[in-house]
Amino acid sequence: MSIPILTLLIFFPVLGGLILLGSSKEKVKSIKVMALIVSLLEFIFTLPLCFTFDQTIHHLQFVERHSWIPLFDIDYFLGLDAVSMLFILFSTLITILCVLVSWNSIQTKVKGFFVSLLLFEGAMIGAFCAHDLFILYLFREATLIFMLLLICAWNGPKHICTGIPGIIGRASGTMRKVQGCLVSHYLAYMGGGVVFIIILMFARF
């Protein structure tokens, strides 16, 4: 049985972030070391993908697909092409750099920062791997939440004015996007064909 490497890449930093969340906020050095170890291991996990990725074929590779919500034809569908492979590699590398750059510059709410950073990494990799519209939407929204959290909480008071409108905008549009995703999945599942395309042209989700 093959290892679900993409699922591992998505949820390993999430697990690391949850472990940090349960640690004591007074152990600042331990939190930083743990975040660095998790980010380094995440980068190491991506290396086998680079070495085994076949550039001679155009099909998705390392595919993981499982039925999740059959009513709306929603699958847990992950896979990699050449572009997403590079994005994942660079994302894991940049996360290591973020941990190192933040080592001394983050002095307040240290635990919250590194927890948010690791959760952001997991959601970002999920967005690059997802090949189901609804799954992609969930991961994308998660990246925006943690990105806005990092902007508002650790970039000074003047950046709060930048982050709050983003949060309000995301909250106001979330339900309509969820409706759009579910409707598109359901119509595709029912074989809507041309009707599906026409509805998407004129509907305002």
List the chain domain ranges.
5-160
Q: Under a CB-based contact definition with an 8 Å cutoff, are residues 131 and 79 in contact? A: yes
**Residue 181 above 90 pLDDT?**
no
Chain centroid to CA 4: how far?
17
pLDDT of amino acid 151: 78
pLDDT at position 122, please? Answer: 94
Question: Would residue 153 be called left, alpha or beta, if left means φ above 0 and alpha means ψ between -120 and 50 degrees?
Answer: alpha
Which run of H or E residues covers position 27?
A: none
Average pLDDT of the residues of the chain: 81
Measure the CA–CA gap between 2 and 48, rounded to whole angstroms: 13
Q: What is the pLDDT of residue 57?
A: 84
pLDDT higher than 50, residue 1: no
Q: Are 185 and 134 in contact (CB under 8 A)?
A: yes
The band of 205, judged by pLDDT with boundaries at 50, 70 and 90, is very low
Question: Would you say the pTM of this structure is higher than 0.85?
Answer: no
The two structure tokens encoding residue 121: 């990494």
Q: Which residue has the higher pLDDT, 144 or 95?
A: 95
Residue 177, both tokens: 């996007």
